[in-house]
């Protein structure tokens, strides 16, 4: 009875150890669940970040394609304007030579007319007015009258000489005026042609200015579009980098989740094995406790029996099974 009463407490350490292990397993399981929930929430946010990034990339790609389309259209316009400017320059180059030639001829004709005008207005006191100077009819009549006077009137030699000189003077002036009138027609024709080509040149230069402004606007628009395209490229690179980072983090999270799952399975397997083998552990635990109790109660007998057995073994005598068990049981304990 003493042995049975003393045997009940022997199971307490085993039960306590089992309870402690169970609590430890529960704490481990709770910790695993908490970590797994945190990782799953983090993975969910990463997946959402990936989706948002991919949507942004699609929108950026659409903007890039639209910008490229506009750039191509602007380049076509720019090429057309440059072709137009080239054609205008070709016309300008062809007409500008005519323009400068006419301008030079006009200046030369103006100089000649001035020289003739000076000759026509010199000598004999000259005409009373510019109108008279260019009045061919009056000069012709005056010349005819002088010639009649020389032929019909009785003139002294001095008067005749004076009229002859005047006749020559008027004839010279009349010739000069006729030449001037002829030159004036040439000058007017040149001036008309010059005015026409000058107007055409002004029109060409206005066209050049307009085309130049158009080219400037298109180039400015192209610069803005090209800068916009580069900004979109840079923005897309940034979003792609964030999406790839999120993907890499998801892989890391999956690795940790797999490790947690492995740890949970191992823990569950360990708990099941512990529950399955706990009765055997309890028996194996109680037997040593029982032996220790018996040893304490029968220490003197135990020691004396063992001493006898040890002497027999030392002397080489044959030991019984119980004597061997007595010796080796303690050693194994």
Q: What is d(CA 165, CA 145) in angstroms, rounded to the nearest whole number?
A: 14
What is the predicted pLDDT for the residue at 129?
Answer: 45
The model's confidence at residue 7, banded by pLDDT at 50, 70 and 90, is: very low
The more confident residue out of 111 and 32 is 111
Q: What integer is the mean pLDDT of 297-326?
A: 67
Q: What is the architecture, at CATH level 2, of domain 5-291?
A: Orthogonal Bundle (1.10)
Mean pLDDT of the chain: 76
What is the predicted pLDDT for the residue at 128?
Answer: 39
pLDDT tens track for 14-25:
444 455 555 555
pLDDT tens track for 65-74:
999 999 999 9
DSSP 8-class letter at 16: H
Tokens of 153: 């009137």
What is the predicted pLDDT for the residue at 239?
Answer: 95
CA distance to 63, 94, 229, 267, 320, per residue, from 14 (Å): 73, 117, 75, 20, 34
DSSP, collapsed to helix, strand or coil, labels residue 214 as: helix
pLDDT tens track for 114-172:
776 665 555 444 443 445 445 677 778 888 888 887 788 777 888 878 888 888 888 88
Extents of the domains making up the chain? 5-291, 298-332
Q: What integer is the mean pLDDT of 174-188?
A: 75
The more confident residue out of 179 and 61 is 61
Q: What is d(CA 132, CA 146) in angstroms, rounded to the nearest whole number?
A: 17
DSSP 8-class letter at 298: T
* CA R_g for the chain: 65
Answer yes or no: is pLDDT of 279 > 60: no
Q: What integer is the mean pLDDT of 93-103?
A: 80
Contacts of 274 (CB under 8 A, 6+ apart): 18, 21
What is the predicted pLDDT for the residue at 330?
Answer: 47
> Nearest CA to 14 among 294, 288, 269, 266?
288
Answer yes or no: is pLDDT of 251 > 60: yes
3-state secondary structure 143-191: HHHHHHHHHHCCCCHHHHHHHHHHHHHHHHHHHHHHHHHHHHHHHHHHH
What is the predicted pLDDT for the residue at 166?
Answer: 84
What is the predicted pLDDT for the residue at 257?
Answer: 86
Q: Do the beta carbons of residue 71 and residue 228 sit within 8 Å?
A: no
Tokens of 312: 């027999």
What is the reported pTM?
0.52
The model's confidence at residue 3, banded by pLDDT at 50, 70 and 90, is: very low
């Amino acid at each position: 009875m003493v042995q049975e009463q003393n045997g009940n407490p022997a199971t307490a350490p085993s039960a306590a150890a089992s309870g402690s292990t169970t609590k430890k397993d529960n704490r481990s399981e709770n910790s695993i669940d908490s970590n797994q929930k945190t990782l799953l929430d983090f993975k969910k946010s990463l997946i959402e970040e990936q989706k948002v990034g991919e949507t942004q990339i699609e929108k950026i790609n659409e903007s890039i394609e639209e910008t490229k389309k506009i750039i191509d259209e602007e380049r076509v316009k720019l090429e057309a304007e440059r072709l137009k400017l080239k054609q205008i320059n070709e016309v300008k180059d062809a007409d500008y030579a005519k323009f400068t030639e006419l301008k030079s001829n006009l200046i030369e004709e103006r100089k000649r007319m001035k020289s003739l005008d000076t000759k026509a207005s010199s000598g004999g006191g000259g005409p009373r007015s510019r109108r008279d100077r260019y009045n061919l009819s009056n000069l012709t009549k005056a010349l005819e009258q002088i010639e009649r006077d020389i032929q019909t009137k009785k003139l002294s030699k001095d008067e005749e000489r004076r009229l002859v000189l005047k006749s020559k003077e008027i004839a010279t002036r009349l010739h000069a005026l006729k030449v001037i009138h002829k030159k004036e027609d040439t000058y007017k024709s040149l001036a008309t042609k010059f005015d026409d080509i000058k107007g055409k040149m002004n029109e060409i230069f206005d066209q050049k200015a307009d085309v130049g402004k158009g080219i400037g606007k298109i180039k400015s628009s192209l610069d803005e579009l090209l800068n916009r395209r580069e900004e979109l490229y840079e923005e897309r690179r940034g979003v792609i980098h964030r999406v790839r980072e999120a993907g890499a983090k998801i892989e890391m999270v999956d690795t940790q989740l797999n490790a947690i799952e492995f740890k949970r399975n191992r823990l569950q397997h360990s708990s099941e094995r512990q529950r399955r083998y706990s009765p055997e552990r309890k028996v194996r635990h109680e037997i040593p406790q029982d032996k220790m109790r018996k040893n304490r109660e029968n220490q003197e007998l135990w020691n004396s029996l063992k001493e006898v057995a040890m002497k027999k073994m030392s002397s080489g005598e044959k030991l019984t099974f119980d004597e061997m068990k007595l010796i080796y049981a303690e050693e194994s304990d």
